[in-house]
Amino acid sequence: MAGTAALELGLEVMLSRACRRPFETPSGHVVRCGSRLKAECEGCSALHVGDWRSIIRSGVFDAGTGYRFFLLTLTAPSFGAVHHVPREPGKRDLCKCGKRHSNEVDAGLRGVPVDLADYDYAGQVAWNAASGRLWDATRARLRALLPSLAFASVREWQARGALHLHVLIRVEAKDAQKVPVVQAGKKRRSVPVITALVGAVTARGDDGITVCWGANVDCRPVRADQATGRTIWYLTKAVGYLTKDVADGGGGHSLAGVEHWRRMDHAARRHRCPGCQRRRHRVLACGALLHRQWGARSHVVSVSRPSRDGSRPGWSLTGLTRARQREARLKWVRENFPMSESEIREAATARLARNQEASALLAALARKRKSATQSLVSVTASAGPPSHAG
């Protein structure tokens, strides 16, 4: 048993570093799958997160002292009351349902509507689908106010299944004078000019309705030192969160939680996007990604690009991009491991075969473990409750 556990652990460590689903190109090269989903390929998703971490850090620590930074948080509006379950152990807050939930017992209710029948699932899916247009309109308004604006944005899932946006904004010091910072609390500062501007932005959804941000818009200044380091850590954590499957983003194991996600899936399939309208699909969804992701069109991590006339730099002042990172990795491999094209092809093919064999073995071990667990459960159930002599 100990040998099996060690083998399984070794396989997991190996697969966490390598690509689980490499494929062969028509030219004969074996390349990574490049998936951003951790459930599909842990190695490629870790590479994806590391690349974005470097890009986000580059836009801050390569900027110098002539810039100011702000963290903008944008949330979705309410589509119905949801259960409030605190994340801190031992804390019990009063929920809108009238009960006090705890993280130890009621974690499966976090984000689940208080009344499933009264919750606006269609509205939430439609808002998720239109959130990209809403951010485009918001970005245009912010850039009209702050011409030197550059940003790094991360879109994250809330527990209820609605998207919200974290944006790290960088502006030149002269532009920062247009958005004064005020003391909003004992330990909190705010930028009311930006929050008021963002609160007035609207966009048009797929069904023609007008969408806007929720009431919990927050903008606060951050310093380009340890405070910004913590902000980048939080954004990087959100990037890592986005590499998961959308179904992993929420949903407890309670019956109400399962029903909530089922209704979200149903609303996403019934939503009619421009693709459905163009193909005249009135009943069946057109197959676009948003119908499988509760209205989200993609896992979005984005940074601003340089202007075409060169008057405004992009987020990374050194021009760091994922394409350049891939080129740097390829250059390093070629310089440190000189091999001919045939040797590279043979080594890649052999590694592909080893990865496939290891994946198959790991899947077989998982099936055996699941089968043993099910057998144990059935035997325990057939034995009935324990009897107590006395």
Q: Are residues 214 and 341 in the same domain?
A: no
Give the chain's radius of gyration (CA, Å): 25
Highest mean pLDDT among 6-20, 39-53, 99-113, 136-150: 136-150
Is 344 a member of any domain?
Answer: yes
- 15: how many CB neighbours lie within 10 A of its CB? 17
Q: Are residues 242 and 324 in the same domain?
A: no
Q: Are residues 157 and 231 in the same domain?
A: yes
Q: Are residues 175 and 213 in the same domain?
A: yes
Q: Are residues 70 and 190 in the same domain?
A: yes
Pairing of strands 163-172, 67-74: antiparallel
Alpha-helical segments (H) within the chain? 2-17, 42-61, 103-106, 121-145, 173-176, 192-199, 226-242, 255-270, 274-279, 322-336, 341-383
Q: Are residues 195 and 338 in the same domain?
A: no
Is 215 a member of any domain?
Answer: yes
Task: In whole angstroms, give the CA distance from residue 102 to residue 79.
Answer: 23
Exposure of 184 by Cβ count < 10 A (0-12 exposed, 13-18 middle, 19+ buried)? middle
Grouping H, G, I as helix, E, B as strand and the rest as coil, residue 113 is strand
Exposure of 242 by Cβ count < 10 A (0-12 exposed, 13-18 middle, 19+ buried)? buried
Of 194, 151, 155, nearest to 169 by C-alpha is: 151
- The amino acid at residue 198 is V
Is 109 a member of any domain?
Answer: no
Find the mean pLDDT for residues 239-257. 55
Is 386 a member of any domain?
Answer: no
Q: What's the pLDDT score for residue 72? A: 92
Single pTM value for the model: 0.74
Is 138 a member of any domain?
Answer: yes
pLDDT tens digits for range 286-308: 777 788 888 887 657 889 988 88
Q: Are residues 120 and 201 in the same domain?
A: yes
- Domain region containing 325: 320-350
Q: What's the pLDDT score for residue 378? A: 53
Beta bridge partners of 166: 73, 154
- Considering the chain, what percentage of its residues have pLDDT values greater than 90? 17
Domains: count for the chain: 2
pLDDT tens digits for range 183-195: 877 777 889 999 9
Q: Are residues 194 and 49 in the same domain?
A: yes
